[in-house]
Structure formats: C-alpha cells, structure tokens
Amino acid sequence: MHPSSDRTVVEWYPINALRNLATSQARTELVFLVDVDFVPAAGIQQTLATQQQLQAMLTCSVTALVIPAFEMGTTADAETGNGTLPGSTTCAVELPTTKAEILPLVASGSAKGFHVEHFPQGHSNTDYGRWAVTGAPYEVKYSQYFEPYIVASRRWLPSYDERFEGYGMNKISHLYHTATLGCRFVVYPSGFIVAADHDKSPSWNKTYGKAASPARRKQIATLYQDFKRRLPPLAPPSSGPLLGDWLAPLAPPHAKDPHAKDPYA
C-alpha cells in the first residue's frame, strides 16, 4: 500500500506521537500523564501547587508520584469488551471526589482498582489495600507491565516511543523506560483518579476484539521486545527519604520575581 494513502495515515491512532507533542508544549515542569477519560479527585492540583516539600521531591529527584486509579460501573461484557455505560462525553454515574467518598464504594464493589480484575499487572502494585488505610506516602516496586498514572518532572521523563500506535503497549513501554532510569514510584496517599465504565475504543477492538487480527498482536509483542532490547537493564530505584508530612501546613511560597523568565513559556 502506498504510504500516502488515507487508509495508511489513519489506520492506527498516533497516540505516543501526540503524547510527546503534549508534553513538549506543557508550560510547567511537572506533568500529569493520564488518560482523558479519568476525573481527578478534588485537591490534587492544589496540593501539587502549594506543597513545597512534595514539589522539591518531584523536581529534584527521579521520582514519579503515582495517583491511584479506580473505575466505576458494571463489569465489561466478555463477548464485546464493552461496558454498560455508553461511550460518550456524558458520564452516567456520579463519580466520587474525595477519599472518604470512594472508600465505601470500593467496600461495596461499586468501585475497584483500575483493571485489577482482568489485567492485574497494570495497577496492582499500587497496593490499594494499603492506600485505603494510610495517610502517608509509600513507595512501591516496579514490575513489568506496571502502568500507573503519574506526576513527574519532564526534565527527566523519557519520550514515548512513537512506533507504538493504536492500542497496545504504548503506555507500558513508557513506564518500563521510566523504570530503567532508576525511578522511584511513590503513591499519593489522599487523592486518586476515577473513570466511569464505557465502551472499548475502536483501537482496542481492532487489536483485541473478536475480529482482530492475531498478526497485529504479534506485531505489537515483537515491537515491545525490540523496544526493551534497546534499553539498559532495569535499574534499582534511587534512594532517599519519603516526605511523610506533605499535607502539613507550610509557609507560603516566596513571591515569584515578576522579571524572571518562565522557562516553560
């Protein structure tokens, strides 16, 4: 097929190329790497903006702040991969906004760790049981296929590999690369993100749906193995104390010099 044909251009969504573009255009040092269908709990942005110790840890070390991810809604249909809520921009369920609101929903089964039932490797390392009972940050280990949603400094974050298009290993590969840099994964103790159950995307159906080609899945697996071969071995995480008093009252930050140049402008 000729590379200039429309079908070739749009066959697979260039997700990682767009992620790189978005990161390059960010005007802050810290960026939140998250999927668009998630809604953050109240207060995350305020904490990041006002807690100087937390900012110092994230800007002065190779550390990623893991924001626990949850999902709400009924289990996806095993035949179609679709949930019971329509895939639209209108959310059909009321999403919790605080930890006090989401914990009873987790206990009742109305909310659960993101994809922990059908792909536990993706988020189980977050340790949702520990998160439920703690008010302090804690470090978790990386293992292959761990793909948390993180806040980190774009000064050291690697670029996404743009060879990954459409659905499959696009985010997992980036987190693997992040881990090879010796990144520490530290879980945010009081906030979270949550997504309502919705239909699977066209990219998912083309890759893992009933009519998907096994050749496509093999292509992705081969690409992932090649991706890992190009990187150094996984590095042990960097060391350093955790900041257990993130949420303690802090002195107001110093006023910014109005004449100072914004490096992200």
DSSP run (H or E) holding 47 = helix 44-50
The answer to whether residue 206 scores a pLDDT higher than 90 is no
Coil, strand or helix at 65: strand
DSSP assigned state of 90:
S
What is the model's pLDDT at position 47? 84
The answer on pLDDT for 189 being more than 50 is: yes
Kindly tell me if the per-residue pLDDT of 264 is higher than 90. Answer: no
The whole-number pLDDT of residue 238 equals 75
DSSP codes of every residue in 145-195: T---EEEEETTTPPPP-TT--SSSSHHHHHHHHHHHTT-EEEE-SS--EEE
Q: Do residues 193 and 38 make contact, with C-beta atoms less than 8 angstroms apart?
A: yes
User: What CA–CA distance (Å, rounded) separates 232 from 155?
Assistant: 20
State the pLDDT at residue 89. Answer: 40
pLDDT average, residue stretch 3-22: 76
Percent of the chain beyond pLDDT 70?
A: 78
CA dihedral 185, 220, 214, 115 (to 10 degrees): 20
| 64-80 pLDDT per residue, tens | 999 999 999 854 443 44
Classify residue 30 by its DSSP letter. E
- Average pLDDT, rounded, for the chain: 83
Residue 249 above 60 pLDDT? no
- Name the strand (E) or helix (H) holding 196: strand 193-196
**pLDDT over threshold 90, residue 162:** yes
Q: What is the mean pLDDT of residues 194-202?
A: 83
State the pTM of this model.
0.81
The CATH number assigned to the domain with range 6-229 reads 3.90.550
Helix axes 170-180, 214-229, angle to 10 degrees: 10
pLDDT at 237: 82
pLDDT tens, position by position, 112-148: 999 999 899 999 999 999 999 999 999 999 999 999 9
Residue-wise pLDDT tens digits, 85-104: 333 344 556 899 999 999 99
pLDDT of residue 242: 66
Domain ranges of the chain: 6-229
pLDDT score at 92: 56
Does pLDDT of 254 surpass 80?
A: no
Residue 11 confidence (pLDDT): 79
